[in-house]
Chain A
């Protein structure tokens, strides 16, 4: 029976949904007469799914028919599931009609490997060319480059897309070899290198010659699956840092592994996706990108994994308590960024405002500083730092202010997905989730207070 566009959309969106990278950021392009669309550099969310993720792009696979057999993937050859493929025209039309109704910022096109990487990429190029040239689409396009595609085709793809990405899939070569027998490490890193250098070359050209064709102007990103293989958080973070530095990636995305197959190489089917861990990785990723932290300041050989109860910045501050308090009116910008309760925006505001006038608590509050946390780490005009009673009671008070309530199932009767593993265990043993959260929280506070 002929599949309708609706059938195809269901199948091909379902197969693509585990890819988490759905942003439309990084490109800024004004609309043009005779065309449709523009690109807005900060990115734009058009809706949010029931799991609270931003939907920015029409994220679909061109096809989910796959010649490869990656263990963690629903589309693998050996899995029995309905298959479909869009024709280039169907895809172009869908994109345009969605875009006109302001449902989306553009298209995120990825694909399983139909026949071979080159064959698939040629189909993708066809669809995107149609969209750009015949439909005059000027909005955002993110295309996924398939490992093993020849460099000539990658070069063509980069001229059609705003952003390219090659998924690194798993955080180490060993796991990759084990779970994706068809993908070699080299086949992932060589397109990454090619994209990085082509993108850099094109932005150099653009500065000289305005009409040069931009190659993936929004740069490249990648994604890896967390929790399908045994790497530690530290290994993942080091890898992430390396990717930013070496391949000038714009973003590294993490995706908590959701079991899709019974496989002895993988976690059991009833394993919960490690969402808290994913969340901590994103927090650490922010510290790398916006807070001037290095990976080995956040974690190290001795502490390979994140503290489930604290966000990485608060964790750092607790372990470096001797460096505080800092004087808000004098501390260097880098240090302001490290104060719990001060983010990049408020740090910038402080830097600007303290040139005009010496700042006190009221000013800080009005500038968006979260004093509940910051008070133990700063001094300012008329405020010599919050002093707590000496001894463990005082230390516990500080910890209590910093601790991440989300990890303790705070305020929820149902067990929250973000609860720390210890809470989940207690709850699994039959304890009321709320009580379990409370118990673990008190434990954690006592324990963390000793670390100060």
Chain B
């Protein structure tokens, strides 16, 4: 569905670092098979993938899985001590390089997809998984029923499903030759949508604005960029031509329903209400 290279490009500036530094997580080093413990400590990092990689580094060097991992947006009060994890590109690069090397490309990809998950506890789940993964090797992927592996697949599935939904549900509006769309996803799906839309509309200029994460994917003059914004973005309201096509589309949509078969529940299962605000034909029904 989506290319490995996209993920790398968006997620991991560290990827471009020289992968020379060989890194074996401490747990794997001979003679240091100290058991991993659940620690009453909270990690706090800067939300970026590199920052998370540094959490991995910390978790392995102190043989612990923290009680929770926070980002600046996800802080609550706690009695536990908080460890501030500084982002260090070099450390991050070493950890990242070891994914493919020790755990295989597929595991690396699973980790990157899971990082896009919108779950609040994704980091802890990923750390648990990683401790198991470094102890097991690439075979860890086959332990589908393992309590530390299953949540990874669940996150991957949830994200992939949402990506698939947005592939269909995104609605562009044209304004001055640019197609613009707004989405409110739960997971950080833009990196995974990029390939699909760039491939589909090679000759268009378009942007997709993720209002949940305040990020925008811009494709202009055959080049795509993903940027995080400091302030929310508002798209221009539709002009006459745009409104005309929206009318046609809504009309088409309403014509399609067969009254004798009306089934609201089924529609809401397949197209949950949380998508409706971003869909031209359903917005009015909210």
Give the B-binding residues of A (Cβ under 8 A). Answer: 5-6, 9-10, 13-14, 17-18, 30-38, 40, 44-56, 58-59, 94, 97-98, 100-103, 139, 256, 258, 272-273, 275, 349, 352-353, 355-357, 359, 362-364, 366-367, 417
Contact = CB atoms under 8 A, between A and B. Distances in A.
B167 A44 contact: yes
Contact of B248 (A6, A18, A35): A6
Interface residues of B, number: 53
A52 B267 contact: yes
24 contacts: A6-B247, A6-B251, A10-B255, A17-B255, A17-B256, A36-B201, A37-B200, A38-B200, A44-B167, A50-B257, A51-B261, A51-B263, A52-B264, A52-B269, A55-B256, A59-B256, A98-B245, A100-B174, A101-B245, A102-B181, A273-B260, A353-B142, A353-B143, A363-B146
A18 B170 contact: no
B7 to A, nearest CB: 18
B199 A258 contact: no
B26 to A, nearest CB: 26
Given A97-B245, A102-B172, A417-B263, A366 B147 contact: yes
A201 to B, nearest CB: 29
Contacts of A18: 258
Nearest to B204: A100
A33 B198 CA distance: 10
Contacts of B21: none
B203 to A, nearest CB: 6
A50 B181 CA distance: 24
Which of A52, A355, A357 has the most B CB atoms < 10 Å from its CB? Answer: A52
A51 B253 contact: no
Nearest to A364: B145
A98 to B, nearest CB: 6
4 nearest A-B pairs in the assembled complex, by CB-CB distance:
A363-B145, A52-B266, A51-B261, A50-B257
B72 interface: no
Contacts of A51: 257-258, 261-263, 266-267
Nearest to A39: B200
Contacts of A34: 202-203
B163 to A, nearest CB: 11
B168 to A, nearest CB: 4
B201 A100 contact: yes
Interface in B202-217: 202-204
A45 B169 CA distance: 8
Contacts of B174: 100-101
A53 B198 CA distance: 28
B4 to A, nearest CB: 16
